Structure formats: structure tokens, C-alpha cells
Structure 1
Amino acid sequence: MLRFRHIKFAYITGGKVYSVTTDKTVENQRVKLTVTNKDGVISASVSSATPIELLRLSAEFEYEFKSVSRVYLNGYQSWTDSVEHPINGRLRSVDHIPKPIADKYAFSQYGDYTFTRYSSKKGVMHGFTYGYIRSYDMYDFIGSLNENSGFTTIRTDCGFGRVLAFKECSELHIEDHFEGLKLYIGSGSEEEVFDRWFELMDIPKRDIPKIHGYTSWYRHYQDISEEILIKDLEQSDIGEDDIFQIDDGWQTAVGDWLSIDEKKFPSGLKAVTDRIAELGKGKAGIWLAPFVCEEKSELFKSHKDWLLKDKNGRVVKGGSNWSGFYALDIYNEGFRAYLKEVFDTIINKWGFGRLLKLDFLYAACIVPRRDKTRGMIMADAIDLLRELAGDTAILGCGVPLASVFGKVEYCRVGCDVSLDWDDKPYMKLMHRERPSTMNCILNSVFRRQLNGRAFGCDPDVYLLRDTENTMTAAQRRCLAEINALTGSVWFTSDNAKDYGDEQKKMYQDAIALSGCKVISAELNRKELVLQILRDDKKEILTYDMRDILSLPVKKLLP
């Protein structure tokens, strides 16, 4: 059990730094720090009688780590690798990458690298929002109950038997009240701690239907057109209630969402949605990245005032995709009006009223404001999207997960899969958010508890085809089976009519797992062992995550 020690609080006012370490409420003429510890909930809020700048608000816990303990700390956003680690584990930042390369490709922008300290010391690891220490089937859990006021970094120092929780607040200026830390500390089974956490957040379990469908991305990437998509549609065997999702490549540039590429889509996107309805094959879904624009876009050239800027007035780069892209300021009224027109056009005029895949959402909160933390900004950004989407389902992607708890129907829980197993060797040295089929699978397994509680988990697509990719049959089988076991989104970029007998058998074996429950998961070096419940019988699935040269070993348990 995590044993609470104290709160550390520091702030600046009148040019002086003040700090206190305490386990109880303290008050003076300047501020009041209210500390409570009751029924497994620990909170520390700040009230000020004068304007102050916050420097630190953290809680420290003692914990007796055991050799069998496994530590899980949730990664910053959808794509960040998030798995259980042994107590001597560690995380890798991007500081080993030569600066000219790191700057050119803006690797630091995808994750937490600009505002989180990475340690090379074994056992010193960090994550965001929630985490646990698992010993066999017992979970010692810590989870934030108020990420909308600021993200919470959870850090372990296994060698010293410490767990720290830091509220995002550095350089935040307040004049009256800051909600501060609010943490649930619990012990029990997986079901007990996760159910209790969501109960305390007042987020009821969600009866979200599992969606099936096709997405163009992993078959064509950006090389799509009206002709290609209609051919895909006509040759597909998707059902009337499935999703046919058009991914990136339909727009003239990222950010110019009202400008369809007329060379690719001479009849416009409405012609595609009309054809979908005419054939009765699925419901139309579409991809866009609402909070970013690429450098070659007209939006970037014509609306510099819409670009997000840091405290020094410099525009904020979001990453290196496309022609390089920049974040947009969600508080700019002109940009908000533009987004409203975009959503109205896409949903009501072009016919994409079933599903919006909204990507690269983290860009909205890359930098905090003087009066708002990243968590506050991301919460405002998601509320804006929810308002604009109305009843149209949202599939969030590339987003700090807590910001969309209970607010979107579906959310990606891993990085992009790849057409190979673990990307190119040199890419393994890059950021934690890089594409990797293996990493995506592991994220799906270790974030599985969010499925049906926070949203329907999207484990990305399964690929069973034996062409246009370098994955072995066993790797493709593993991907499909994990997706069926852990997610609520069952999408592919394959044409199932091209499947041979082997692919058909793999599909049937995977789909048969969709109603099974994962009881436990263990990652031993590179071997993934799942215990599942199928037809009231326990079963073990074992996957070799290194190369998967053989099919998973299945064993029934008494």
C-alpha cells in the first residue's frame, strides 16, 4: 500500500520564494494550503489572498517495492509507449539524438520531453494521470481525480522506496484558488481499483458499441482518390452498419479542411458518401487533425494570428509530419469560427455524420499559458470538439488520455501500427511515440482497463493480408487477436475478399476472441502471457514479442 508522507508546496509572491513541507492544512496572510486525507482520497488545494506564481505542488509516498513487483505508469499521450516495467526499469528520452536532427524533425514536440525530467537511473520512471504497482494479482493504485485542472506526473524511485505525484503548476499565476492535487490511493484487484477510480471521477461505465470497418490509411496512405476509394468500397464486404473511413489525403493541405483536392476528388467528397449510402456498405467516417496546420497550407500563410505562440511570442511547431506542422490557438475567435464552419460542412453538407477521427490533438496544449495549465487547455479543446461534433461519434487520437475520459466515444490507446513489426532499426532510437506494431500491441494490452470505462479503446487496425507488409503470419495473427481481445474498434485496411484460407482462418480465430475477457497480462522480457476467460474456462495465450516465428501457444487451465 502507498503510505502518504507529506505535501511539498512552493510559490513566489512579492519577489520572494516561499515553501512548506506538511501533511496537514497550513495558512498564513498570503495563502492557505488545504490538505485532506480521507477514504483513500488525498487532496491539496491552494487559496491565495494575493496574486502568486506557483512553483511546486507535490505529494510523496513511501512504498516497499518487491522483486516481483511490476510498475505501470501511463504515458503522456495516445502514442506514448505504456507498459509494465520491472522495478529496475527505465525510460529513454530524446536527448541522445543529435540536436540538428532532433530540431529538424521536432521529436520533442510529440511527447513530454520539453517539460518532464527523464532519468537514466534504474527504477526512476514516470507517467501521467495514473499508475500502479502490481504484485501478482494485487494492485496498489494511484490515480488523479482532476486532470482538467492540470496534468499529474507520477514518478517512482524504486531503489529508495518512493512514489511522487507532481501537479502541473510551475509558472501558473493564480489570484484566488487552484484545485491542485486530488489523488485516489487504493489497493485491490484490477477490477476493484479501476472501478473505484472511475466511480470517484463520476464517470459511469459506458455501453459503447463495438464498431467494425475499413480505413484507407494502411492500404493507400495519402495516395487516395475518388476512384480508388469507390473501388475499395465496391470490392469490400463491409456491412451496412460498419464504418468506411476516409483517412488523410483528401484535403489540399493539412489545415485547409474546406479545400478538397480536386485532382483526386473531382466530384467532391459528397459523391463518395452518396455512393456509400447507395451501395448500403457502411457509414461514412473521415479523418482530420483540427488543431494543426502544415507549413504549405493556405491557413499557415494567411492566418499567422491563428498560430499558437509560446511565452516569447514564437510560433509553436507540432512535429515533422507532412511539410512540417504547427499548432493552432484554440482560444483565437477567428480560428474557433473557422473550426465551426469546418465541422458543419463535413457533417451536414458532405455527409460524414457517423464518425470523426480527430488526430494530433496533443498540439493544442504543447505550451501552457500564464493563466492555464496544459491540462486546462486540453480540457477546453476537447469541450470545443465535443460541442462542434454534436451527436457525431468522435474517435480521438494523439491525445493525453485523461482529457477525453467520458467525453469521446472512442480513443486510440497506442501508436500507429506499421507494415513491419517494430519499424526500421534506426527508428527504435527515436521518440516513444514512433510507429511500431509491437508497441501498439503492448499499449493495447496494458491500457485495456480503460475500455468501456473511459471510452471504447481503439487498438488501431489489424492487417492479415500477406502482401504489402513484412510481418510474419504469427505477427499478423498476434495483432488481430490482441485487437479483438482489448478494443472496441475493429478496423482494417485489408480487402477481405482477397484473403486466402490461411487469412480466413486467422480472422475467424481472432473474431472468436472478441467476447473473451483478459484476466491478467504479464510481459517477461519479450514474452507476453495473457490469461483469458473463454466460455467460463481459463486459457493461456503466449506470444513471443521478439519475432513471433511460431503461432501463439494456447493452454486450457483447470
Structure 2
Amino acid sequence: MDQDPRFQIAWRVPGGGERTTYVSRQVPTFGPDCRDLDVTVERDGDDVWHVWVDPEYDLTVESASAIVSVDLEHADALYLNGYNSKTDSWERSPRAGMRGLWGTPGFVADHWALDAQGDYRFAEQDPRPGRQHGEGYGYVRKGRAVTLFGECRPDTGLTSIYEDLSTGSVTLTKEGPVRRLAAGERVELLTLVVTTGTLTDTVARFMSLMGASRRPALPIVGFTSWYRHYEDIDEPTLERDLVGVADVLLAQPLEDVLPVFAVDYGYARAGDWLEPDQRRFPRGMGALATSVRASGLVPGIWIAPFVCEKNSRTYANHPDWLLRDAAGRPVKVGSRWGGTYALDTRNDEVREYVRSVLGVVTSDWGYGLLKLDGLFAAAMLPHDGMNRGQLMADALDLLRSAVPEGTPLDFCGVPVMSAIGRCEYCRVCCDVGLDWDGRPHERLLGRERVSTWNALRDIQGRSHLCDVAFLADPGVYFLRRDVAFTHSQRTRLVSADALLSGALVTSDDMGAWDQRQCSIFRNALETFVQRNRERGVTQVAVPGEVEVDTSSEPVAESQDAQDTTERDADECEAESVAQRAKAEETQVCDDVSVTREVPVPGLDVTVIDRPLMAAIEAGGIEVPKELEVPKELSEGDEPEEKDDSVAEGESGEEAKAESESADDAEVAGEPQAINESAEDAGAQDDEGEKAEETRPAGVDDPTVLAPPMDDETAQGETEVYVMTPDDIEAACAETVDEGTTEA
């Protein structure tokens, strides 16, 4: 790689004429009137370049670019960070293309404001192979070796990155100051880093140059209302959910985690956050927060502070609060609720309103975790003398200053570069859906669309940021059976959340989980806590944190497991999870815990957390013969109704195609009853011992994601999740680039 990038500055003279100044090692400075701009490039060590200007007269800088030569031709992968926290971001082939909204009818994109969340309105969109783009930073990888490139000062302007496979280069283009620069005013336009090493080392170097560090916070475990109820929530519904959530969570060891019960959208209209729906929440939102705290959990709440819906009082009563384009039209940022519009975060009244909302929610209502969404709305277009990067930094600082010191914030729908160092948690993926990848027409809805498959790859792709920039928020996992997932897909999702993130959250009715679901959750929680401890996440004091007493025994006594399946739903919800868990302990294989890290000799463990492959890539791996599971679940005796691609040895794309062509068989029917007798538990343990005996010498312990099932439960849910280092290496060698084009 050429360690001497080339630079170019686009600027305007007072009369409006456009100029471009070029700077390189071969030709120090050239271009029309280049001396008037007076560009200086300062090299700092081996990997940092500072680009300064000191103009001779007043002028405007449009952008500053750096062209960096990289070996795209021989690279194994190219990663370009997506603009929004919901923009797809994972390693791709350098020969891939980004479809974005290409192929989506313009009137559809306009009507639904599909181009609002991403960079469609300001970054060049080129769907050709080898012309990918991203924002802020990226890297190329060849085996273990990583070359990371990025711009280190996003608060002074956001940077788009464009790949050019034909020239073997990437171009980083940073927006210039919106204001006019005065004569003799020395301004740094660009701070470029190009550094090599492992992914862990290069990301750490980048964060250091940014002057950013992760804000201390505990990993989150708990519940959010959105992905089951969506906006159809009320106080009785959430109080019922709270009983089940508290029952499950408080039966677990909760050291070093923050147990959360979060209320999502539906309690008020967007923009009218301090006016809850009185029919749904007659006692107000503070009463619910009090109930959550009394249950031993931390109450959380969802707010989109920089937007309002068209049906809100804010939209009707404060038209001057709305951000407007050059034609004076309100800037639309979403299509929900009759249309969603951006507020002008530079308006003094808007800023005071945001402070008031967050102050009331935290200090008066008592919520201890704020999930703040739709934050990209603050940076829709430059205005008030600020570019988008400056506007975004200013708006996020406003949020930080509006809450009591130490209040944890979870940013969502935010430019990732701006979020670093300003929040405890940050979403790293798109929203998951109630199916795997949506319907075919939904795949034309842009890079931020709802897709569980994309979310899974985003969690993997951005895993290098977790615990370095913030704790990663991966959305939610599902253990319930009324979603159109195969069992393999559900397990891959919860495993990714447990192994690579800082939040293990669901929207399931946790009180309705059966023993098997509770076992999977316990394994995931144990893994989640251990992995976060290994990554150095330490316990911190959180304002309003509730001391959780798990020493007392639950009041409700567990009944015989044979009677459990015959109870009505209400009685099942009231059953003590702790007692059920205790009764099931003999069914869990202690010697093959999911928490054991699988060593991967010869692979770059900094590229991706390799134990994750044992979970999220299980669908694409065929179990080796020598590691076959007990005869009852072997390939020859498998139930005819299969939903797990592991048993069939499908590739990841084949498994995905199968899930698109037909719903998971278990979704349509009731789950099979689980045989919980002691005899069956002992038999399962014996089978585990037999499987252990067949493991050849030198083969590492496998990673098992859930306890074994009996024959009856196995119908339709083939539970074979065994991975060895060789399997993981094979999975890593397979490149999955669904939705892109190859040259």
C-alpha cells in the first residue's frame, strides 16, 4: 500500500467560482489559485496526516478528500462502516456492489421517505461492482493483516468513503465547514489515519486518535415491548409482562448486568412525549416506572427526541420548530404515523423542549435508561452555519447535558461516528423482523430495512466496536415460536447477541417460556456475562439502580412437570421460573457449555469473535461424522419434519432460501410437550456421555447452544449444534454476500 495519500480540496472563491487544489508527494501543491488557499499537509508519525488551510482571503471550502491506495485486488474482504447505526455493515468482497435503493421506484422512496435514514441524499450511490461506499472508516483484510483507514474528527464534519476497485484505491471525502473561512484563519480540514495490524489493534489506534473511549456501563439484560406488542401497549399489558420478566430474571444471578424492563413507542404520539395516552396509561408513565423498580428491575423508555409525527400537537402548534429545506418545506424523515418530520435542533425552543422532556422522564417519572431513536434527523441538511457532522455532535451533546450525570443512554438510528464516546449503548444493526429476511419486494427498501438476516450480519460486522466505542445494542432475540424462524435461526440470533454484544434483550412473554426456552436463556445469559467479563466490562454505579434480592425463594411452588402442559395459560405465567429451572438442572450438559471458547489455530481471532461462528454459522456447517450426535438424533433417524439446516448440511444461503419459500413448520402448530421426567433426563445425560466417547483424540470440546431434547420434543426441531475448529475455519472461508453483485 502507498503510505503517502494524495489530497484534494474543493473550494469556492468569493465570486462563486469553483476551484480544486491538489497535494501529493510528487507535486506538493497545484491547481488554479492554489497559493491563495495555502494548503499544508503535516505527517504525524507513520500513520496520521493533518491537512490544514490558511486562506489569503475569505472563501468557502466545499470538501477535503484523501485518496489512499490499497490492495483491493488481493484482499480477502473489504469493510466500510455504514452511515446510520441501522445501515448494513459487514465484510464484503471488494468485487461486490451495493444495491441500496437502486431498483426502487422513486415515488415509493419519496412517499415512504426511504432515503432519509441512510446517506442517499448526500453520498454518491453507485451500484456497480467494486464501487462500494461507507462512512467514517473502513478496512481491507488479507488473512490476519488489516489496513484501516478513517477520518479522526467526525465532530467537524462527516466523511464518505468510496471504493474504486479499478484503481485499487479508496477516497475519503469530508464535508467542509459551511461557514466562510476568514483570511488568515488556519483551519484543519482533514485528519487521516491509515494504520496496519490486527483488527483489534487498528481499531484501538483509531479510537485513540479520535480521543474517544467507551463510557462505563453494565451490559443490559431484559425486555422491551416493541417486537411483540409494537405500538399496541397499555398499562395492564405491560404490568402482566412485568410479572413474567421479573420472575425469569430474578431467578438468575444478575451480577455485573443491568436488568431492564423497557417501554417502547405506543405510550404517546411522537413529539408529544410528556402527554401520555390517558386511556392506555391512566396513572401516567411514572406509575409504571415505579412498578418496574418495585419488581427489582430498571425501567427504560423509548423516545425519538428530534422528530414529531404529523398528528402530534407539536407539529400542529409549533410549525416554527420544524426543520425546513431551501424551499421552506418541512423535512420528512419517515412515513409512520401519518409522516414523521425533523425538528430543528438549533432552534432555542426545540432545545429547551428536549431538555424538558428528558428531565421529566428521568427525574420526575423515574426512568433509568433512555433509548433515544431517530437521532439522524438532527443532521438531515447543513444549516445555521454548521455542517452535518457539527450538527450531529451538537445535538448528541444536547441529549447528554439534558439528563442527570451517569444516566445510561442507548442511541439508535444515529450516525455511528458521531455516537462514539457519547453513549453507553448504541444500536449496531437494523431492526429484526418477525421473519428471516422479509418478502422479496421488501428487499428493495434500502440498506436500513427490517431484516433479521441483515441484523445478524451487522452484529457480526460491527462486533469490533463493542466494548471499545460503546456496548453494542443488537436489538432483540426470539425464543417464542410464533415468529417465522426455524429453530436454527432463533438459536443463531440469541447466540450472536450473547457472544458479541452488550445487550441481551427480548420482547417475548418471558413468563410463558417453557423449561426448554428457560434453559436456552440461562445458557445465553451465562455466556453473555462471561464474555463481557472477559472483554473487561466491569461493574459500575448506575443512578437509580435497584438492589436486586435474589436470595428469597419464590412464593409459588412448582408442580409436577407432567401437569405443567395441562395448565391453562394464566397458571403457567404464574409458575415460578426458578423452581422449574431447578427441576431441569439434570438435563443440562455441564461438560459442553456454550460458554467455552473454541480455539481456532491459524485464524485471525481479531477479525471476528470466532466462537460466534459456532452459533450464527451453524446453519451452513455439516457436522463431521466422528462428531455425530446420539443415534436418536442422527441423520438416518431424523424426523421427517426438518427445520434446522445444520442437520441437512445446507449452506447459509440455502437455509435462507428455504426459510423464504415456506414458514417454519413449528410456527403453524403448537409446540410439542416436553418430557421432563427424571428417567428421561438421565437418559439424555447418558446420550451426552456416548457422544463424548465418540469424540476423537485432539478434537476440542464442541460448542452446544442448548440442552438436548427428548425424542418427542425433537419432532420438527432438530437440535444439532456442534462445531469444531475445522468447522469454524470452513465457515469463515465461505463468503456470504447476499444482496450484492459480483464482477
Q: Fold conserved (TM > 0.5)?
A: yes
Structure 1 distance, partners of 2:595, 2:522, is 18
Look up the SS of the partner of 2:338 in the other structure: coil
Counterpart selection for 1:555 from 716, 724, 731:
724
Q: How many residues align?
A: 542
Match of 1:543 among 602, 605, 618: 618
Q: Which residue number in structure 2 is paired with residue 527 of structure 1?
A: none
Alignment correspondent of 1:37: 43
User: Which residues of structure 2 form unaligned runs of 5+?
Assistant: 535-593, 601-610, 620-651, 659-717, 730-743
Aligned to 2:276: 260
Of the candidates 461, 476, 479, which is equivalent to residue 446 of structure 1?
Answer: 461
* Post-superposition offset of 1:101: 1.5
Partner in structure 2 of residue 150 of structure 1 = 157
Residues 168 and 221 of structure 1, relative CA distance in 2, 3 Å threshold: same
Q: CA deviation at 1:37?
A: 2.3
**Aligned counterparts, 1:126-205, within 5 A:** 126-169=133-176, 173-175=180-182, 176-204=185-213
**C-alpha displacement of 1:424:** 2.0
1:243–1:382 distance in 2 versus 1, CA, 3 Å: same
Contact 2:178 2:387 in 1 (8 A): no
Give the aligned residue type for 2:207. Answer: F
Alignment of 1:1-20 (within 5 A): 1-15=1-15, 16-20=17-21
Deviations 1:463-502 (A, max 9, x none): 11112x1111111100000001111111111123322343
**Cross-structure match for 1:89:** 96
Deviation at 1:34, TM superposition (A): 1.8
Alignment counterpart, residue 331 of structure 2, candidates 306, 316, 324: 316
Q: What amino acid does structure 1 have at the position aligned with 2:54?
A: S
Distance change >3 Å, CA 475–CA 18, structure 1 → 2: same
Other-structure match for 1:526? none
Secondary structure, aligned partner of 1:107: coil
Q: Distance in 2 between matches of 1:397 and 1:232?
A: 24
Aligned to 1:523: none
1:525 is aligned to: none
How does 1:295-306 map onto structure 2 within 5 Å?
Answer: 295-306=310-321
Amino acid at match of 1:314: R
1:279 and 2:295 aligned:
yes
Amino acid of the structure 2 residue aligned with 1:244? F
Residues 3-402 of structure 1 aligned to structure 2 (within 5 Å): 3-15=3-15, 16-23=17-24, 30-39=36-45, 40-169=47-176, 173-175=180-182, 176-204=185-213, 207-236=216-245, 237=247, 238-239=249-250, 241-251=258-268, 253-280=269-296, 282-352=297-367, 354-369=368-383, 371-390=385-404, 391-402=406-417
Deviations 1:99-125 (A, max 9, x none): 221211111111110111111321111
CA RMSD of aligned residues (A): 2.4
CA distance in 2, matches of 1:386, 1:38: 32
**What letter is aligned with 1:219?**
R
Structure 1 residues 178, 304: closer, same or farther in 2, change over 3 A? farther
Q: What do residues 517-544 of structure 1 show as CA deviations (whole Å, max 9, x unaligned)?
A: 9x9xxxxxxxxxxxx9945744552334
Is residue 73–residue 83 contact of structure 1 (8 Å, CA) maintained in 2? yes
Distance in 1 of aligned mates of 2:351 and 2:400: 13
Amino acid at match of 2:212: I
Is contact 2:459-2:500 (8 Å) kept? yes
Q: CA–CA distance in 2 between the matches of 1:310 and 1:196?
A: 39
Runs (5+) with no aligned partner, structure 1: 520-531
| Residues in 2 aligned to 1:286 and 1:205: alpha-carbon distance in whole angstroms | 22
CA contact (8 A) 1:52 1:174 kept: yes
Report how far residue 192 of structure 1 moved.
1.2
Residues 48-102 of structure 1: CA deviation (Å, up to 9, x unaligned): 3432122331111222223452000000111101111112111113242222212
Larger Rg: 2
Amino acid at match of 1:265: F
SS in 2 for 1:160: coil
Structure 2 CA distance for partners of 1:343 and 1:170, relative to 1, 3 Å: closer
Q: Secondary structure at the match of 2:132?
A: strand
- How far residue 339 of structure 1 moved from its aligned partner, in angstroms, is 1.4
Structure 1 residue matching 2:202: 3-state secondary structure: helix
Correspondent of 1:478 among 492, 502, 513: 492
Deviation for aligned residue 1:429: 1.0
What is the identity, as a one-letter code, of the residue corresponding to 1:366?
Answer: M
Q: Any idea what SS the aligned residue of 2:208 has?
A: helix
1:464-475 matched pairs, under 5 angstroms: 464-467=479-482, 469-475=483-489
The answer (yes or no) to whether the contact 2:355–2:399 under 8 Å persists in 1 is no
Select the structure that is richer in strand: 1
Separation of aligned partners in 2, 1:533 and 1:484: 10
State the 1:11 CA deviation: 1.1
Alpha-carbon shift at residue 385 of structure 1 (Å): 0.3
- Shift of the 128–533 alpha-carbon distance from structure 1 to 2, 3 Å rule, reads farther
Q: Give secondary structure in 2 for the equivalent of 1:8.
A: strand
Greater mean deviation of Cα atoms: 181-190 or 490-499: 490-499
Judged with a 3 Å threshold, the aligned counterparts in structure 2 of structure 1 residues 256 and 226 are, in CA distance, closer, same or farther, namely same
Preserved contact between residue 379 and residue 388 of structure 2 (Cα < 8 Å): yes
Distance in 1, Cα, partners of 2:4 & 2:306: 39
Which residue of structure 1 lines up, in the alignment, with residue 524 of structure 2? Answer: 510
Q: How far did 1:446 drift?
A: 0.8
* Cα 1:29–1:429 shift into 2, 3 Å: closer
Letter in 2 for 1:193: T
Decide whether the 8 Å contact of 1:6 with 1:59 is kept in 2: yes
CA drift of 1:245 comes to: 0.5
Instruction: Give TM-score scaled by structure 1 length.
Output: 0.92
In 1: Cα distance, 2:305 partner to 2:488 partner: 37
- Give 1:2 shift: 4.9
Residue 478 of structure 2 is aligned to residue 463 of structure 1:
yes
Q: Which amino acid aligns with 2:317?
A: S
2:380 aligned partner, one-letter code:
I
Contact 1:206–1:453 under 8 Å retained in 2 = no
Give, in angstroms, the shift of residue 205 of structure 1. 5.1
Tell me, in whole angstroms, the C-alpha distance in 2 between the residues paired with 1:445 and 1:310: 37
Query: What CA deviation, in whole Å up to 9, does each residue of 1:267-298 have, x standing for no partner?
Result: 11111112223333x01110010000000111
Structure 1 CA distance for aligned equivalents of residues 466 and 71 of structure 2? 30
Q: Which has the higher helix share?
A: 2
1:361 to 1:511, Cα distance in 2 relative to 1, 3 A = same
Letter in 1 for 2:381: V
- 1:206 deviates by 5.0
Q: CA deviation at 1:505?
A: 3.8
Greater mean deviation of Cα atoms: 545-554 or 373-382: 545-554
1:205 and 1:234, CA in 2 relative to 1: closer, same or farther beyond 3 A? closer
TM-score by length of 2: 0.70
- Cα separation, partners in 2 of 1:120 and 1:344, compared to 1, 3 Å: closer
Distance 1:129 1:78, change over 3 A: same
Contact 1:4–1:60 (Cα < 8 Å) also in 2: no
